[in-house]
Structure 1
Amino acid sequence: MTLPYIKMDNSITNTLPNEILAYVASFLVHDKQAQCAFTRVCNLFYCVAHAVFDQRPVFQYMCRCGYADVVKFFLADGRVDPAADDNYAIRFSSINGHADVVRLLLADGRVDPTTTDNYAIRWSSYYGYADVVGLLLADGRVDPAANDNHAICASSQNGHTDTVRLLLADGRVDPTAKCNYAIRFSSHNGYTDVVRLLLADGRVDPTISNYVMQESSENGRTELVKLLLEDGRADPANIVNYAIRLSSEDGYTDVVQLLLADPRVDPTAGNDYAIRLSSENGHTDVVKLLLADGRADPTNINNHAIQWSCRYGHTDVVKLLLEDGRADPAAYDNAAIRWSSENGHAEVVKLLLVDRRVDPTAYNNYAIKESSIKGNADVVQLLLADRRVDPTLKSSLQATSLIYFCGIPSLVNSTIFSSDVDSDSD
């Protein structure tokens, strides 16, 4: 006789936790008829039954999900083997952070927490389950240094401060493993509290290729840079002052300020890379710091700083460089006004025209020609207002066509008129 499905209100069955259903189903393991009836109640019951009526899968499922009360019942029943499938129960309760289940399993002599190369402590450390790690460390069988100190390396890399603290307190753990992996990758990922713990451990060496200082500076990790400078061992000047060069280029003002205060740092390294690239990238506050420091030379490499800040329209940087007085805005055949005009940076052009060193007619009136062709109306108007600029360029016809490109019809008549006057005078 085939038993029909019993239709139940899904709103009721769906509110029943799997933990309760599995517990109920566990009483039916020896009654085939009851199993069949339970299974056919609804899809939810069917799914639970499928995992429950074999004791091993349901026990492992309970461990994986953290149902400690049910796990306790199964262990007391005695029929299930908690070490089955290469100690699946302890491995997956650990990796999922179920401390109460792990405690129960460790109390059962059949369970081996060291299986699969100490999988339990390695992966509970990876995910930062400090309670589980504490329980496993208290079990003398567990080796926290397994797999080349995977536990401390992974927990440091992932920023699990409490787990790292527990592991460092265990003398078997070596935080310098894999070429000081722990401090290198915790700093790379910006985990300040972990780095602080590692630096406090006398075994850790933050000077390995000075990677830690370089990475922290390049990525703008202000608190980490401060920690490392206070520690004193890492050299911020390593690799041609990499730290200040890259933090300046990327605009990390607070990091640059910290580095400038360290006497080992040279902001002029790499042909004044710091001032050149911070200017080019428009990092005004960094440029201000470097100019105030006094050591950086904004004229290096043919006045790169002012040329490229003008080219990209970084008005505030250009203003700082002009006020400093050392940078020459006329360098490289007046590249500053040529490039800023060509790219339509009217505010920069306005600043440059006020400086007497700048010649807006340089390179055969390049500035007004290119700004006209590219339709930079505001720039053209500024240039035409400067008496040094020749808007006729060789012929009034050429000038008129250029101004039409610019979309300033009102200027056409004045240009033609001035050309006619010149013609009459001839």
Structure 2
Amino acid sequence: MRAARSGSVQSVKQALEFGIDVDALSSDHWTALMAASEEGHTDVVELLLANKASVDTQRPNGDTALNIACEHGHVGSMRALLASGAAIELATDQGFTALMAASEKGHTDVVELLLANKASVDTQLPNGASALKIACQNGQVGSVRALLASGAAIELATDQGFTPLMSASLKGHTDVVELLLANKASVDTQRPNGASALFIACEHGRVGAARALLVSGAAIELATDQGFTALMAASEKGHTDVVELLLANKASVDTQLPNGASALKIACQNGQVGSVRALLASGAAIELATDQGFTPLMAASLKGHTDVVELLLANKASVDTQLPNGASALKIACEHGRVGAARALLVSGAAIELATDEGFTPLMSASLKGHTDVVELLLANKASVDTQLPNGASALKIACQNGRVGSVRALLASGVAINLTDDEICTVLTAASENGHADVVELLLATKTSLIDWTLKKGSQGTVALGRHLKEKVNAASKMAGDITTIAGCWRGLKEQLLAYEGESRLLIKLADTARVVGFLKRATDTALGVLNLLGSPDEISWHQALDQEREDRVVFFEALLADDERMAREMGDEQQQLEVLTRLKHGLERYGDVLNPRELDVMSAVFDAIVRYADVVVATVPQWFAISETEWSRAEASPVDEGEEVCVRDASFFELLNHPNVRKFYGACHIAKPFVIHEESYALDSRGMTWGYLLG
């Protein structure tokens, strides 16, 4: 084997004389004949053949000595093999014949010899490729010429519809293209998808091939099944020289796809500034939009091709054209974070507040997606920071809801009104908290925002109020039903029970009353639902969900209050108010705590601890008779207490000394500035019985 590959005739003779098998295989399944054929040692090939070497032995991949010799262009070796009867059509496992192998490599003399020996010129691979197609694809003009001279089928296509002309056009082998056209190749044959040789050449930027095809009369407007013309294909890929060639040959500049896209729109979308410049120079309609309303400027803005945007604007593209939904190029650029495009549009006077039909401004869109650099750019250009959607949501609320901490930071730095809420009274803090954006919550709390001040200006309503939804529903039902109905009575009772709570302006007192009010509202909700025959309906779920949401909003507010040490200190008030808050918190937690959710319990406990630390006060056990509302007072007046007279007097005296504001008149207790009597429980004397008679004597 080594001797055959090295071309040593003498060594090969000696090996044969020693009786070595002429067809012995190496470890990689090569025979001596194959090795000599690969290296082109014709004399060794002839010697081996003279010693009865098998001419058509195949390697595992199907290669024969002839195939190997043809692939490597060794015409002498292959002539000797043919003379010894080598099978000229014996192909590899992939279907490659000796003619295909020689054609692929451009060994013209080998190709001609094979053809002279009657090699089949139009044999095809499993995918349909012929020797001519293979030679054209590889730019082997000599092989192509020889094959054509032998009658190769010039239109024989692959299974995918590729003709030899298309293959040469794809690879840009201009000399092969010209040779094929000179031999009458069909210039406008189309693949199953409609692509022609010209389309293929233009798509791949083969300007020489495209020129040759145009000279031969290729149909310049012949489009694919999707409507793509050669100009669109070249524009999409940015082959400026091809675009200019097509335009010079009168290609239609404003042809549109079925969706309305033109070559200009396609070039803009793909950022092909050279193509865009050439198309504009040829008069392309700069405002020609797709069926969805997308202009070339919008397409470039969407993808962030700043150089294209600037070129279009320099050519007077309309900067504020809107899609049917109201989106402008600026809104589109901002939504997708294209800061360069947005800057160019703003420099050209784009309307910074131009909103969509749903009310979305560019600032809202950038905030929604978290494009901080765009948000900062818009704010620097005086975008209105507090514009709201129809539902009341602002850019800040949108950013908080979606966890866009960078956008939130930029908006806060610009002086945004953090107190803005949507129609559901959903604060920005609530929006961030409910969606689990802890980093945004932390940022909002760290700002010690004006949320608390806003609540105070609202008279302690809004975020810290409970029962808004229930009151609204019951009031509406009452008005519809009339004043003498049961639901009207519910409405009056609801207002009466909530009167003191809603009138309370001190935030921490309001918090201390949470458990009692929540318990009442849950019962009142069920009562109203029952009166209205809504139990078991979807309304039952939605009413309770509304109350739960009010409670969550309220907790978020008080969490913010807790984080603001300065405001918290002011809300604690003087010593008497601190005592009142602590006592009422303890009373509420002990008496009604089972209705509270974990977050409410946590925030109330945290407020209690904060006041104790601040005021250094310890609250004694709250007496059994202690009450904070008129309802509790009325109920307590008619109920005995377990404590004896001495304990009641001592506790009442203690609370009097503390000047506690919540001691009221009870059975066995007192209220400051009100007379009270403590007496043991007794029964009236039966004047009709014997006892009375006995006393009278």
Same fold (TM over 0.5): yes
| Residue number in structure 1 paired with 2:624 | none
TM-score normalised to the size of structure 2?
0.51
Cα distance, 1:205 vs. partner? 0.9
Number of the residue aligned with 1:213:
264
Secondary structure of the 2:156 match is helix
Structure 1 CA distance, aligned partners of 2:130 and 2:406?
A: 69
Q: What is the correspondence of 1:251-266 to structure 2 with a 5 Å cutoff?
A: 251-266=304-319
Q: Aligned residue for 1:93? A: 135
Secondary structure in structure 2 of the residue aligned to 1:100: helix
Tell me the distance in 1 between the aligned counterparts of 2:37 and 2:50: 21
Contact kept in structure 2, 1:144 and 1:167, CA below 8 Å? yes
1:163 is paired with a residue whose SS is: helix
Q: Note if contact 1:361-1:367 (Cα within 8 Å) is conserved in structure 2.
A: yes
Give the match for residue 246 of structure 1: 299
Say which of 221, 228, 239 aligns to 1:191: 239
Relative to structure 1, the CA distance from residue 6 to residue 19 in structure 2 (aligned partners, 3 Å threshold; closer, same or farther) is closer
Is 238-247 or 281-290 further displaced after alignment?
238-247
Which of the pair is proportionally richer in helix?
1
Larger Rg: 1 or 2? 2
Matched, 1:156 2:202: yes
CA drift of 1:99 comes to: 1.8
Measure how far apart 1:121 and its partner are: 2.0
SS of the residue corresponding to residue 278 of structure 1 reads: helix
Which residue number corresponds to residue 616 of structure 2?
Answer: none
Find the aligned partners of 1:263 and 1:277 in 2 and give their Cα distance.
Answer: 19
Paired residue type of 2:176: V
RMSD (Å), alpha carbons = 4.4
- The aligned residue for residue 381 of structure 1 is 445
Contact residue 62 and residue 70 of structure 1 kept, 8 A: yes
Partner of 1:337 in structure 2? 396
Give yes or no for the alignment of 1:131 onto 2:175.
Answer: yes
Report what 1:369 is aligned to.
Answer: 430
- The answer (yes or no) to whether the contact 2:363–2:395 under 8 Å persists in 1 is yes
**Bigger shift: 326-335 or 19-28?**
19-28
1:283 is aligned with what amino acid?
R
CA apart distance, 1:187? 2.0
The Cα of 1:34 is off from its aligned counterpart by 2.8
In 1, distance between residues paired with 2:282 and 2:558? 65
Query: Is residue 384 of structure 2 the alignment partner of residue 327 of structure 1?
Result: yes
2:222 maps to what in 1? 177
**Are the equivalent residues in 2 in contact too, given 1:288–1:320 (CA < 8 A)?**
yes
Partner of 1:222: 273
By how many angstroms is 1:208 displaced? 0.7
Matched residues in 2 for 1:149 and 1:372: separation? Answer: 56
Residues of 2 paired with 1:254 and 1:405: CA distance? 49
- Per-residue displacement from partner, 1:7-30 (whole Å, max 9, x unpaired)? 54769989959755698899799x
Given that residues 338 and 360 in structure 1 are in contact (C-alpha distance below 8 angstroms), is that contact kept between their aligned partners in structure 2?
no
Aligned runs of 1:103-114 on 2, under 5 Å? 103-106=145-148, 108=149, 110-112=150-152, 114=154
Structure 1 residue 63 corresponds to structure 2 residue 122: no
1:295/1:169 CA distance change after superposition, 3 Å: same
Question: Which letter maps to 2:429?
Answer: I
Q: Which residue identity does 2:361 align to in structure 1?
A: H
Decide whether the 8 Å contact of 2:36 with 2:44 is kept in 1. no
Q: 2: distance between equivalents of 1:183 and 1:418?
A: 73
Q: Pick from 283, 294, 300: which aligns with 2:338?
A: 283
Q: Which residue of 2 aligns with 1:34?
A: 52
SS of 1:208 mapped into structure 2: coil
Q: What SS does the corresponding residue of 1:338 show, helix, strand or coil?
A: helix
The aligned counterpart of 1:48 is 64
Give, in whole Å, the separation in 2 of the partners of 1:399 and 1:366: 7
State how far apart, in whole Å, the 2-side matches of 1:272 and 1:8 are: 72
Query: Which structure carries more relative contact order (alpha carbon 8 Å, separation 6+)?
Result: 1
1:28-62 Cα shifts (integer Å, max 9, x gaps): 99x697342x566x948973248572124433432
Q: Deviations over 1:213-257 (max 9, x none)?
A: 111112222221111111113444434452112221222211111
Closer, same or farther in 2 for the Cα pair 1:383/1:311, shift >3 Å?
A: farther
SS at match of 1:225: helix
The runs of 5 or more residues in structure 2 that have no matched partner are 1-19, 68-80, 90-96, 465-507, 513-551, 581-697
Query: Residues 403 and 411 of structure 1 are in contact (CA less than 8 Å); yes or no, is this contact kept in structure 2?
Result: no
Partner Cα distance (2:231, 2:553) in 1: 65
Greater Cα shift, 181-190 or 52-61: 52-61
Q: Is the 8 A contact 1:39 1:46 kept in 2?
A: no
State the alpha-carbon separation in 2 of the partners of residues 11 and 417 from structure 1.
93
Give CA-to-partner distance per residue, 1:134-166, whole Å, 9 cap, x none.
Answer: 322343x43434458822122222322221122
The 2-side partners of 1:362 and 1:295 are apart by 29
Q: Distance in 2 between matches of 1:311 and 1:329?
A: 14
- SS of 1:269 mapped into structure 2: coil
* Amino acid in structure 1 at the alignment position of 2:134: F
Secondary structure, aligned partner of 2:229 = helix
Q: Compute the TM-score of the two structures, normalised by the length of structure 1.
A: 0.78
Inter-CA distance 372–17: structure 2 relative to 1 (3 Å threshold): farther
Query: Which residue is 2:144 aligned to?
Result: 102
Which amino acid letter does the alignment assign opposite residue 380 of structure 1? L
Aligned partner of 2:628 in structure 1 is none
Q: Which residue of 2 aligns with 1:79?
A: 117
Query: SS of the counterpart of 2:172?
Result: coil
- Identical aligned pairs, as a percentage? 20
**Matched-pair contact (CA < 8 Å) for 2:388–2:394:** yes
